[in-house]
């Protein structure tokens, strides 16, 4: 395995996917081009079940989309190319974990702390949508959070939808995460049917925030949170109530007004949701304690 990519030396793996692996990497220069520490996403040498040329084109597309974005709540992609015979993407490094790991690790947090995480994701979406881009895969795995919870960043634009003036069609019309406790999708109903826009990302973020609040809130009313089958039981309840447009957070002692915010964000009909990420972010901001 080649350890040098451009000026950077690969250290430990921090993420592994079907087509690529992400490493923490350190610059060997006194004045690093992109910072002393970065994350480098490298296409795997062997790609199973897919055309290699197609994966390379998708990788290039993802990098070009992400490199347009520059916002504190979006992971910065600095550059991409072929280094020592391997395709790689040099990205901003976040000292922390993805939100899925955060959700499933021990520890409970206050309501406003969790809402602020959702608010920061919404702010990132505002920037993404202002560039005409629909992320289409907002889920916990695609959000990075620092260990102190202050830094929250959207990542992975692998299936994003871009303005028609760049690409004539959505290359991944029906794509989106189908996993929510193995039952419920983060993808909006219209996205599953092959039609997505900014409101589809709002739906996905609403589902994500509902999950985050339920699992990580300090005093949930759902009993037996320390039992081994707790997540299985949550899964069953989510599956039951999402079919009737209800949220699991209905069970929590949180402001009724906040429940209404999530209900609106996750409405099955796009016209009944917040129409922009700015609207959604503003609604969330009302529940954040001002310092």
Active site residue 170: no
Sign of the C-alpha dihedral computed for residues 18, 200, 126 and 67 taken in this order: positive
- Distance, CA of 92 to CA of 79 (rounded, Å): 10
- Give the three-state DSSP class for 41: strand
CB contact at 8 A, 266 and 210: yes
- Distance, CA of 186 to CA of 197 (rounded, Å): 14
CB contact at 8 A, 96 and 243: no
Helices of type H across the chain: 52-66, 99-104, 111-130, 189-192, 198-216, 230-242, 256-265, 277-285
CB contact at 8 A, 92 and 152: no
- Distance, CA of 268 to CA of 199 (rounded, Å): 11
Supply the DSSP symbol for 160: -
**What Cα–Cα distance (Å) separates residue 106 from each residue in 13, 111, 150, 187, 226?**
23, 16, 18, 27, 10
Supply the DSSP symbol for 161: B
Q: Residues 137, 156, 170, 201: which is the catalytic one?
A: 137
- Distance, CA of 47 to CA of 44 (rounded, Å): 6
The neighbouring-strand residues paired with 2 are none
Q: Which long-range contacts (CB under 8 A, 24 or more apart) does 169-173 make?
A: 170/194, 170/196, 171/58, 171/61, 172/136
Residues catalogued as catalytic: 137
């Amino acid at each position: 395995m080649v350890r040098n990519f451009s000026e950077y030396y690969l250290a430990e793996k921090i993420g592994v996917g079907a087509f690529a692996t992400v490493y923490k990497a350190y610059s060997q220069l006194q004045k690093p081009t992109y910072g002393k520490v970065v994350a480098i996403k490298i296409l795997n040498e062997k790609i199973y079940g897919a055309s290699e040329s197609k994966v390379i084109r998708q990788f290039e597309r993802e990098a070009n989309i992400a490199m347009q974005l520059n916002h504190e709540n979006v992971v910065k992609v600095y550059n991409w190319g072929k280094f020592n015979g391997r395709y790689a993407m040099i990205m901003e490094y976040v000292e922390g974990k993805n939100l899925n790991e955060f959700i499933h690790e021990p520890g409970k947090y206050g309501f406003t702390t969790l809402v602020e995480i959702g608010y920061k994701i919404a702010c990132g979406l505002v920037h993404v949508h202002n560039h005409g881009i629909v992320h289409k895969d907002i889920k916990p795995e695609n959000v990075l959070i620092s260990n102190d919870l202050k830094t929250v960043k959207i990542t992975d634009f692998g299936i994003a939808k871009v303005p028609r003036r760049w690409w004539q069609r959505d290359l991944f019309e029906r794509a989106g995460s189908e996993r929510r406790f193995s039952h419920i999708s983060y993808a909006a109903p219209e996205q599953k049917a092959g039609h997505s826009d900014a409101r589809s990302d709002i739906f996905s973020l609403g589902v994500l925030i509902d999950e985050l609040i339920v699992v990580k809130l300090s005093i949930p009313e759902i009993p037996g949170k320390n039992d081994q089958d707790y997540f299985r039981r949550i899964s069953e309840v989510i599956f039951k109530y999402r079919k009737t447009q209800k949220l699991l957070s209905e069970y929590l002692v949180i402001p009724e007004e906040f429940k209404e915010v999530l209900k609106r964000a996750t409405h099955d009909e796009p016209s009944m949701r917040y129409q922009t990420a700015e609207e959604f972010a503003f609604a969330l901001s009302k529940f954040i304690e001002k310092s």
